């Protein structure tokens, strides 16, 4: 499936892929009036370098966004937007100032923030692993119960502070370690560990209270 933004598609292997990198890159760059096919070298943009960057870092960018927005189709489109922005700014990117992971996730965080601001949607993400919701081959009855659990989990997630939601998304969505999260958010590794622990505890307690009330 090709995303509505026209860059990113989901392949049969489940990975997002660029169908025609050079064509997409030139289209974005021309549209943004930053650089054309004839002066790529002058601006220091190597299509092969950007393609390598995309292939290495796309998966965790998509997972982070998917955890934040809780909708795969919208996550695909937002991931496309992130890499459009990254490509348009690639000639200004300095690896000495920020690691690729930090740079891309900063763009992703800002993109998600803009998305919620414009759509007025509540920040929510599927984080069943944090509260112990099972997910393997449910029966019809179990599927109904699971949908209820997901809805309640979103309610619990809405009680978390914005920074806590970001940390959980980076941990469980992008699958970053605490040191990497600290680099992205500009926090100390100890602070990340403390905030992550507290956020997960809040989710578990909220979900546990709801489960007890149902009995």
Domains in the chain, please, with CATH?
A: 9-119 (1.10.1740), 132-214 (1.10.10.10)
Mean pLDDT, to the nearest integer, of 164-180?
88
Mean pLDDT, to the nearest integer, of 50-56?
85
Question: How far is 181 from 159, CA to CA, in rounded Å?
Answer: 21
* Residue scoring higher pLDDT (208 or 120): 208
Contact 124, 157 (CB under 8 A): yes
- The rounded percent of the chain whose pLDDT value lies above 70 is 67
Average pLDDT, the chain: 74
How far is C-alpha 134 from the chain's CA centre? 23
Most confidently modeled range among 6-15, 111-120, 197-206? 197-206
How far is C-alpha 194 from the chain's CA centre? 22
Tens digits of residue pLDDT in 94-149: 888 888 999 999 999 999 989 988 876 544 444 544 444 455 555 677 667 777 87
Q: What's the pLDDT score for residue 212?
A: 82
DSSP 8-class letter at 2: B
Global model pTM greater than 0.75 = no
Question: How far is 191 from 70, CA to CA, in rounded Å?
Answer: 26
């Amino acid at each position: 499936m090709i995303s509505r933004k026209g860059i990113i598609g989901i392949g049969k292997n489940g990975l997002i892929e660029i169908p025609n990198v050079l064509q997409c890159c030139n289209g974005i760059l021309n549209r943004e009036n930053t650089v054309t096919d004839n002066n790529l070298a002058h601006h220091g943009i190597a299509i092969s370098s950007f393609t390598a960057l995309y292939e290495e870092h796309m998966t965790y960018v998509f997972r982070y966004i998917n955890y934040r927005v809780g909708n795969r189709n919208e996550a695909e489109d937002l991931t496309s937007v992130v890499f459009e922005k990254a490509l348009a700014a690639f000639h200004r990117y300095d690896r000495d100032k920020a690691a690729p992971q930090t740079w891309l996730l900063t763009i992703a965080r800002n993109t998600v923030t803009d998305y919620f601001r414009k759509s007025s949607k509540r920040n929510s993400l599927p984080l069943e692993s944090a509260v112990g919701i099972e997910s393997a081959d449910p029966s019809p009855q179990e599927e109904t119960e699971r949908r209820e659990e997901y809805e309640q989990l979103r309610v619990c997630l809405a009680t978390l502070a914005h920074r806590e939601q970001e940390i959980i998304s980076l941990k469980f969505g992008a699958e970053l370690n605490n040191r990497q999260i600290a680099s992205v958010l500009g926090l100390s590794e100890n602070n990340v560990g403390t905030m992550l622990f507290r956020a997960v505890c809040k989710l578990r307690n909220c979900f546990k209270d709801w489960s007890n009330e149902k009995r």
